């Protein structure tokens, strides 16, 4: 459904993505991982057409995304970015902004259907109870849930999330990724998520794309990508990879400097 | 949804009432002594009395002009603040007022007002405003995308440059021209030409209705430009349209009434505290209250120290500034109490 072909974009001489190839199937849950500054967010921006490709292209359903109107793209793809929303905005008004791509010409006020969909999305994310509060009055975990509700209100086919779990406690990390996983199953959403935490990525994603300095190092299922050789190469950090005793998924353990001298092998 | 419409209508009705009240108050007060109680009899007696002429030929045009200028500057402020996501932005801080003033000063010096039609001042004002906006826009556009922070800094610099140029124009001009410029810059809503007043009123109302069509897109822009784009908003096009509209409104206002500061800054800010940040109510609320505010200030300006008339810019500056400081302090106090 989403195809990135030989994509090169960014700023010449400064940071750029080079020759990215990635195919995302409909209903897939794919994670983008990589060190800070490796181009994860840039890749998300390119997929939504915010960043123009200098070479190559991004296809959505076989059509070049730069040729699709922003409005149509907004109906196809919803983005939960890292930028904090305005604190003095009402939660319900914020979620209703997600209905914007579906507004008719000259429609200025949400209609009954928009309101119903917004409420359904808030119910699905368990945020309906504070719809009358301001965004500055809810916790950062709740704000993230509200952002997901807004994205869902766009009724997209693909959901892109940029580090949805950063700065959150483990309760909210699991809540949010569980929610995304449930939504994906229920709505057959295609999910592309940038994650910092390798273990969360390995746990939830069906496939992982590992970026290294603007290039795609490898794409594959978590067991294939999260090996200590690959991680040590890309992150330049010594790690040990073992299987999670419950899920059997790969789990990355850090090796602190003080342990290295004794030589754990 | 119904609750929201009700809320909007309630505010619009209340502010329209306020506007009507201020306008009637302004009609009935003045140095010539047509008092409040006489207003109704004068209206009933008809056009031949001198009182009727004072009310309809002197006071009413002034009220209409104050309505147009106050409304124009306020919605220009709302548009710019919405786009920049910065409450300190207004036509004045972006250099648009300065550009308009420079355009009019140039026209005054070149004697365009004497040789050409009355439209030469508004046109040169709008031209100056648009020139500044275009300069600011293209200077920051060169780096690719139109980034708001760069735009703001460029605007402040251009504002400095144009006020220096106005001083240069004054320094090299003849004494009577200089008096004209100073008098006009201080700001006055005394305008003998009724055609200009009609143009100002019509332009401000038209611009208000057009800007209202952008209200939802302004709401989306509050999330950030990338976010607005991912919601399907044509961000560059919206910004261009709003810029041009704000420039035209400012240029027209400045060329007719001089530099009237603070209205474009204080009114939107105050209204945001009162009605909230949703542009669907913020725009009409700012238009109505900005119009009422300027009518009130102008009434004060012409009645506070008769027979002298103060420049209306002085009143808006003092009154608006004090209101603003008071509101900010109150907000800070509430925030402190809330955090305890």
Does residue B49 lie within any of the structural domains? no
Does residue B52 lie within any of the structural domains? no
Interface test with B, best of A97, A146, A152, A155 (most B CBs within 10 A): A97
Condensed to tens digits (0 to 9), the pLDDT of residues B151-204 reads: 677 778 888 888 888 888 888 877 877 777 787 777 788 877 888 899 999 999
pLDDT score recorded for residue A151: 96
B9 inside 8 A of chain A by CB: no
Q: Kindly give, in sequence order, each residue whose CB lies less than 8 Å from that of residue A104, ignoring residues fewer than 6 positions away.
A: none
Condensed to tens digits (0 to 9), the pLDDT of residues A16-43 reads: 898 999 999 999 999 999 999 888 999 9
Does residue B174 lie within any of the structural domains? yes
Phi, psi of A239 (to 5 degrees): -135, 165
pLDDT score recorded for residue B339: 41
DSSP calls for chain A: -EEEEEEEEE-TTSSEEEEEEEEE-TT-EEEEE-STTSSHHHHHHHHTTSS-EEEEEEEETTEEGGGS-HHHHHHHEEEE-SSPPPTTSBHHHHHHGGGGGGPPTT--S--HHHHHHHHHHHHHTT-GGGTTSBGGGS-HHHHHHHHHHHHHHT--SEEEEESTTTT--HHHHHHHHHHHHHHHHHHT-EEEEE-S-HHHHHHH-SEEEEEETTEEEEEE-HHHH--HHHHHHHH---EEEEE-TTT--EEEEE--HHHHTT---
Looking at chain B, which residue has its C-alpha nearest residue A97?
B220
Confidence band for B144, pLDDT divided at 50, 70 and 90: very low
Looking at chain A, which residue has its C-alpha nearest residue B223?
A85
pLDDT score recorded for residue A209: 95
Q: What is the CATH number of the domain that holds B148?
A: 1.10.3470.10
- B15-19 own/partner pairs: CB under 8 Å, 24+ apart: B15/B284, B15/B285, B15/B288, B15/B289, B15/B292, B16/B288, B18/B288, B18/B289, B18/B292, B19/B67, B19/B288, B19/B289, B19/B291, B19/B292, B19/B295
Confidence band for B140, pLDDT divided at 50, 70 and 90: low
- Only one residue has tokens 């709008």, namely B126
pLDDT score recorded for residue B340: 39
Confidence band for A265, pLDDT divided at 50, 70 and 90: very low
Count of CB atoms situated within 10 Å of the CB of A5:
16
pLDDT score recorded for residue B33: 60
Q: In the predicted model, what is the mean pLDDT of chain A?
A: 91
ipTM: 0.89
Does residue B30 lie within any of the structural domains? no
pLDDT score recorded for residue A114: 93
| Structure-token pair, residue B213 | 């069509």
Looking at chain A, which residue has its C-alpha nearest residue B214?
A108
**Nearest Cα residue to A75 out of A183, A151, A154, A150:** A154
Condensed to tens digits (0 to 9), the pLDDT of residues B2-49 reads: 788 899 999 999 999 999 999 988 888 876 666 666 666 766 666 667
Minimum-distance CB partner of A74 among B213, B232, B280: B232
Confidence band for B148, pLDDT divided at 50, 70 and 90: low
- Write out residues 122-161 of A within 8 Å (CB-CB) of B: 154
pLDDT score recorded for residue B35: 64
Does residue B123 lie within any of the structural domains? yes
Strand partners, B295: none
Condensed to tens digits (0 to 9), the pLDDT of residues A158-206 reads: 999 999 998 899 999 999 999 999 999 999 999 999 999 999 999 999 9
Does residue B153 lie within any of the structural domains? yes
**Containing structural domain, residue B220:** 63-327
| Number of domains composing chain B | 1
Does residue B8 lie within any of the structural domains? no
* Chain B residues touching residue A110 (CB < 8 angstroms): 1
* Chain A residues touching residue B276 (CB < 8 angstroms): 88, 90
Does residue B182 lie within any of the structural domains? yes
Question: What is the arithmetic mean of pLDDT over B57-86?
Answer: 91
Between CA A169 and CA B107 the distance in angstroms is 64
Answer yes or no: do B215 and A108 touch at CB < 8 A: yes
Pairing assessment for the beta strands A2-10 and A16-24 based on DSSP bridges:
antiparallel
pLDDT score recorded for residue B192: 76
């Amino acid at each position: 459904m989403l195809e990135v072909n030989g994509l090169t974009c960014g700023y010449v001489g400064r940071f750029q993505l080079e020759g990215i190839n990635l195919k995302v199937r409909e209903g897939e849950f794919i994670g983008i991982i990589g060190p800070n500054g490796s181009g994860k967010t840039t890749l998300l921006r390119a997929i939504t057409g915010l960043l123009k490709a200098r070479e190559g292209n991004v296809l959505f359903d076989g059509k070049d995304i730069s040729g699709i109107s922003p409005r149509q793209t907004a109906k196809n793809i919803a983005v939960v970015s890292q930028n904090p929303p305005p604190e003095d905005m009402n939660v319900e008004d914020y979620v209703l902004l997600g209905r914007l791509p579906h507004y008719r010409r000259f429609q200025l006020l949400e209609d009954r259907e928009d309101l119903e969909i917004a409420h359904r999305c808030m119910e699905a994310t368990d945020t309906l109870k504070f719809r009358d509060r301001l965004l500055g009055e809810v916790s950062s975990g709740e704000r993230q849930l509200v952002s997901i509700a807004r994205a869902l209100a766009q009724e997209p086919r693909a959901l892109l999330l940029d580090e949805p779990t950063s700065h959150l406690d483990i309760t909210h990390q699991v809540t949010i990724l569980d929610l995304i996983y449930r939504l994906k199953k229920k709505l057959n959403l295609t999910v592309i998520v940038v994650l910092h935490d390798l273990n969360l990525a390995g746990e939830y994603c069906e496939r992982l794309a590992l970026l290294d300095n603007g290039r795609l190092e490898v794409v594959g299922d978590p067991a294939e990508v999260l090996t200590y050789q690959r991680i040590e190469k890309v992150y330049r950090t010594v790690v040990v990879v073992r299987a999670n005793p419950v899920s059997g998924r790969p789990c990355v353990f850090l090796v602190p400097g003080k342990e290295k001298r004794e030589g754990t092998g | 949804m119904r609750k929201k419409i009700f809320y909007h209508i309630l505010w619009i009705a209340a502010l329209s009432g306020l506007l009507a009240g201020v306008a009637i108050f302004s009609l009935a007060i003045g140095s010539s002594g047509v008092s409040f109680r006489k207003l109704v009899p004068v209206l009933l007696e008809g056009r031949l009395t001198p009182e009727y002429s004072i009310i309809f030929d002197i006071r009413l045009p002034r009220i209409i002009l104050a309505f147009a200028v106050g409304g124009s500057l306020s919605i220009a402020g709302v548009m710019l603040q919405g786009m920049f996501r910065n409450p300190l932005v207004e036509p004045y801080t972006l250099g648009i007022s300065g550009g308009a003033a420079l355009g009019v000063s140039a026209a005054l010096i070149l004697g365009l007002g004497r040789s050409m039609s009355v439209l030469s001042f508004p046109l040169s004002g709008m031209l100056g405003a648009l020139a500044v906006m275009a300069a600011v826009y293209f200077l920051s556009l060169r780096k690719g995308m139109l980034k708001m922070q760069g735009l703001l800094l460029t605007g402040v610099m251009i504002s400095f440059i144009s006020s220096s140029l106005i001083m240069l124009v004054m320094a090299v001009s003849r004494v009577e021209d200089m008096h004209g410029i100073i008098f006009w810059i201080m700001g006055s809503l005394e305008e003998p030409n009724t055609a200009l007043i009609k143009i100002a009123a019509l332009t401000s109302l038209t611009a208000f209705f057009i800007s209202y069509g952008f209200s939802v897109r302004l709401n989306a822009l509050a999330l950030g430009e990338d976010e607005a784009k991912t919601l399907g908003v044509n961000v560059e096009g919206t910004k261009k349209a709003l810029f041009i509209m704000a420039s035209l409104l400012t240029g027209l206002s400045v060329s007719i009434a001089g530099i009237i500061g603070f209205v474009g800054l204080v009114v939107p800010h105050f209204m945001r505290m009162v009605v909230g940040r949703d542009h669907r109510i913020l725009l009409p609320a700012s238009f109505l209250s900005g119009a009422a505010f300027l009518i009130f200030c102008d009434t004060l300006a012409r009645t506070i120290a008769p027979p002298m008339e103060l420049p209306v810019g002085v009143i808006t500056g003092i009154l608006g500034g004090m209101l603003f400081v008071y509101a900010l302090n109150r907000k800070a106090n509430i925030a402190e109490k809330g955090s305890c």
